[in-house]
C-alpha cells in the first residue's frame, strides 16, 4: 500500500520563500552585520545562494543602516529581481553568484 508523501517540514527561506531542504546549501545571515553592531543579534537561515546575493548587492554599512530586516531586503530593486528569478528554481538549486555588482546597479 502506498503511503502519501510526508508533508515538507523544511524551514522556508525568508528571502525567497522556498523551502530549505536539509541537504541544500544554507547559511545564517546576521540582519545587522557583526562588524556593525550585530554580534549576538538576530540571525535568519537562508539558502546560500540568497545569502550570497545579499552580500553581492549591499555593503555592510547599507545592511546595518537601511536593510536590516527581511522586509527591507525584499524591497531592494536588485533583490526583488533576484527573488523573482530564484523563486522559479527548485528548493535545492544552487549556482555561483557573480562577484559584487554594487557599483553597477544602484537603483
DSSP 29: E
Query: 6: which residues sit within 8 A by CB, 6+ positions away?
Result: none
Q: How does pLDDT run across 46-81, given as a tens digit for each residue?
A: 999 999 999 999 999 999 999 999 999 999 999 999
Q: How does pLDDT run across 3-40, given as a tens digit for each residue?
A: 555 556 889 999 999 999 999 999 999 999 988 887 88
CA 84 to CA 38: how far, in whole Å?
A: 28
| pTM value > 0.85 | no
In 3-state terms, what secondary structure has residue 28?
strand
CA 6 to CA 66: how far, in whole Å?
A: 40
pLDDT of residue 106: 46
Burial category of 59 from C-beta neighbours within 10 Å (exposed 0-12, middle 13-18, buried 19 and up): middle
Q: Where are the beta strands (DSSP E) in the chain?
A: 26-30, 43-47
Amino acid at each position: 500500500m502506498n503511503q502519501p508523501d510526508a508533508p515538507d517540514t523544511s524551514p522556508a527561506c525568508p528571502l525567497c520563500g522556498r523551502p530549505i531542504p536539509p541537504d541544500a546549501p544554507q547559511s545564517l545571515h546576521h540582519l545587522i552585520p557583526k562588524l556593525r553592531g550585530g554580534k549576538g543579534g538576530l540571525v535568519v537561515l537562508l539558502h546560500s545562494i540568497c545569502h550570497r546575493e545579499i552580500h553581492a548587492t549591499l555593503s555592510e554599512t547599507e545592511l546595518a543602516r537601511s536593510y536590516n530586516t527581511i522586509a527591507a531586503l525584499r524591497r531592494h530593486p536588485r533583490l526583488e529581481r533576484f527573488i523573482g528569478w530564484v523563486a522559479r528554481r527548485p528548493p535545492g538549486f544552487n549556482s555561483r553568484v557573480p562577484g559584487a555588482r554594487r557599483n553597477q546597479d544602484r537603483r
